[in-house]
Amino acid sequence: MAGRTGFGDETWRLALAGDVAALEGVAELLLAGETGDLGYDGHRARAFARAVGGDTQAALAELNEGWTEEWPAPSGYAADVARVRFLAGDLAQALDALRLAARSAETPDPAVAELAVACVRRAPRCRAAALRVAVAGGSPWRRLANALAVLRA
């Protein structure tokens, strides 16, 4: 997920705010003509809109439609699946996808640990699963820092 975060960060902020209309607008703009690398970002925005609206299956299908061999890396795609699951309220499956994202990345995206913490804040009963995410990837120091963040949540 490193290297291309501009649209991704903004669409994630819109999703957390529950702004379905803005997400749909972003998707339309980015998918108009499917120019270059923006296709996935458009499908991602639309997937987040579907997830906020409660349609998890449509959201996952939309996300899958945008995924190509070139972008994103499997770990980034797994993190986006986790985001969709989180938005839809399926925290257990969100954490499963996050664990996959953490284990499959050479350098885990800090957003993975942040989302694990958000899951615990939303449902403290998820702490054990979030700890498994926290220690799934990265250097020993990064794993410790992630675990501490989850424990503090």
pLDDT in tens, 103-124: 887 777 788 899 999 999 999 9
- Distance between CA 87 and CA 78 in Å, rounded? 14
Whole-prediction pTM value?
Answer: 0.89
- Distance between CA 27 and CA 76 in Å, rounded? 19
Scan for tokens 């501490």, then name that residue.
148
- Distance between CA 123 and CA 120 in Å, rounded? 5
Locate 22 and state its tokens: 């803005």
Q: 3-class SS at 71?
A: coil
pLDDT in tens, 46-93: 999 999 999 999 999 999 998 888 888 888 899 999 999 999 999 999
- Which strand (E) or helix (H) includes residue 58? helix 56-66
